[in-house]
């Protein structure tokens, strides 16, 4: 007889169902969106436990990174909600479970393994183009949706190109992290490493596991296993094709300077063989709405629970999330200043950055004159009147590369707007 579970309503939006996974400070439940009837995963995090075990940074990082990387092969985060004691993270539900479960039953056919591998590389390449490095890639962090498409998850150990962990002198990361059997030799060696090259090593280990059904470097004694990793010596089983052996040799090169890059990997005949099931191009961003099942709504509904909660004294999440807001691709904030003050401030930013300004009623558009990685960077600000004198301003990328936008946002835009953003403290002071 199946065990019954108690259903719980969250903020009138989700019905919490069965437990599908758990960790030291969080539990993941299957849930139903009460508005659309669709399945989601809800990660429930205990604020007290997060603070007590010193995992605040990991939770902040996971949320901010997942909001930053929209890709068909990355688990999508829909919204963040909270009470005084819990944080609820609504995410895409991967009905197919972990890829690890498939591997535990035996190795995969080469064409099947290649399909999963292509999707993994597409997701990782996209993350790298956004300055995000996963640093804990392994089959347990690769999920499958109901159609069998791969979804990368668990960005708790990830890092960004502007992370404080990255040395300003050598631009290398120095924090050793990840799962031992999948970690690159330069990470173990504690001599600094490039996030992209370390991730690609882990992808190589995953490819070997998909094809073989076991790890390329393994030993009960972890120090012996580390020595094997440092030497980069592994033995392929007889069923590996010559092409897959060559790919693995180039990916599992212990010298990061000669290790194959993603740009060269995707041009190999083995990688291109067959037709990819995923129609999305490599490194393509998914611009579809982040909130599951949401149709075009009224202006006031663009403020989801996370943004409303962040303005509430009783549900203040700023100790957990404020530092990472700069990494989002959009900013919503409240202000008691008139629209003319906001527009004047944006015009000052545009002038300093040599951007062109275009105004139309309640919208202001800033456009750069130089072409970047994906054309000219464009930023749009739209103002919504709420209850006078309160107004909500939404600033978002309207063109160009997201990484370039994030840099402009953190260095130019956010500092210029900081003193006009409404907070509970300055409203009390007034």
Report the distance separating Cα 247 and Cα 272, nearest Å: 12
**Residue 86, annotated ligand binder?**
no
The arrangement of strands across the sheet holding 97-98 comes to 97-98, 142-144, 150-152
417 burial type by CB count under 10 A (0-12 exposed, 13-18 middle, 19+ buried): buried
Catalytic status, residue 170: no
222-to-147, 226, 304, 415 alpha-carbon distances in Å: 37, 6, 47, 47
Element (H, E) at 340: helix 339-353
187 burial type by CB count under 10 A (0-12 exposed, 13-18 middle, 19+ buried): buried
Structure tokens at 288: 């579809």
Report the distance separating Cα 229 and Cα 226, nearest Å: 5
Cβ atoms 217, 228 nearer than 8 A: yes
Angle subtended at Cα 373 by Cα 370 and Cα 376, rounded to the nearest 5 degrees: 35
Cβ atoms 315, 88 nearer than 8 A: no
Report the distance separating Cα 378 and Cα 371, nearest Å: 10
> Furthest-apart CA pair in the chain: how many Å?
75
Q: Which of 125, 136, 199, 401 is catalytic?
A: 136
Report the distance separating Cα 154 and Cα 364, nearest Å: 36
Element (H, E) at 339: helix 339-353
Structure tokens at 337: 């200043």
Report the distance separating Cα 124 and Cα 263, nearest Å: 12
Element (H, E) at 210: helix 195-212
Q: For the beta carbon of residue 258, count every other beta carbon within 10 angstroms.
A: 8
| Exposure string for 99-115, b = 16+ CB within 10 A, e = fewer | beebbeeebbebeebbb
In a 3-state reduction of DSSP, which class is residue 397? strand
Report the distance separating Cα 335 and Cα 143, nearest Å: 41
In a 3-state reduction of DSSP, which class is residue 21? strand
* Annotated binding-site ranges: 43
Active-site positions read: 136
* Annotated binding-site ranges for ATP: 43
């Amino acid at each position: 007889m199946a065990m019954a579970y108690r259903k719980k309503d969250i903020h009138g939006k989700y019905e919490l169902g069965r437990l599908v996974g758990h960790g030291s400070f969080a539990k993941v439940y299957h849930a139903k969106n009460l508005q659309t009837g669709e399945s989601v995963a809800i990660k429930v995090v205990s604020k007290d436990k997060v603070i007590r075990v010193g995992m605040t940074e990991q939770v902040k990082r996971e949320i901010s990174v997942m909001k930053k990387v929209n890709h068909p092969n990355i688990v999508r985060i829909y919204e963040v909600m909270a009470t005084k004691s819990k944080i609820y993270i609504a995410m895409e539900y991967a009905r197919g479970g972990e890829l690890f479960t498939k591997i535990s039953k035996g190795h995969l056919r080469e064409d099947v393994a290649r399909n999963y591998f292509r999707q993994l590389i597409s997701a990782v390449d996209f993350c790298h183009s956004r300055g995000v490095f996963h640093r804990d890639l392994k089959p347990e962090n690769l999920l499958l949706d109901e159609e069998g498409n791969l979804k990368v998850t668990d960005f708790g150990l990830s890092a960004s190109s502007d992370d404080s962990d990255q040395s300003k002198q050598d631009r290398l990361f120095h924090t050793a992290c990840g799962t031992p059997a999948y970690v690159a030799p330069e990470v173990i060696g504690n001599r600094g490493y490039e996030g992209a090259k370390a991730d690609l090593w882990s992808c190589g280990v995953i490819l070997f596991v998909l094809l073989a059904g076991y790890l390329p470097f393994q030993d009960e004694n972890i120090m012996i296993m580390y020595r094997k990793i440092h030497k980069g010596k592994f033995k392929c089983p007889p069923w590996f094709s010559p092409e897959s052996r060559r790919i693995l040799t180039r990916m599992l090169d212990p010298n990061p300077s000669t290790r194959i890059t993603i740009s060269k990997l995707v041009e190999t005949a083995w990688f291109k063989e067959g037709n990819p099931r995923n129609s999305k191009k490599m490194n393509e961003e998914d611009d579809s709405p982040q909130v599951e099942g949401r149709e075009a709504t009224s202006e006031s509904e663009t403020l989801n629970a996370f943004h409303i909660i962040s303005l509430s004294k009783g549900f203040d999440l700023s100790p957990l999330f404020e530092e990472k807001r700069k990494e989002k691709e959009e900013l919503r904030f409240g202000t008691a200043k008139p629209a003319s003050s906001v527009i004047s401030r944006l015009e000052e930013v545009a002038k300093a950055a040599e951007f062109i300004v275009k105004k139309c009623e309640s919208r202001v558009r800033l456009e750069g004159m130089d072409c970047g990685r994906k054309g000219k960077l464009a930023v749009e600000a739209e103002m919504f009147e709420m209850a006078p004198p309160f107004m909500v301003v939404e600033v978002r990328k309207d063109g160009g590369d997201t990484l370039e936008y994030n840099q402009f946002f953190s260095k130019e835009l956010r500092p210029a707007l900081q003193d006009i953003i409404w907070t509970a403290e300055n409203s009390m002071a007034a």
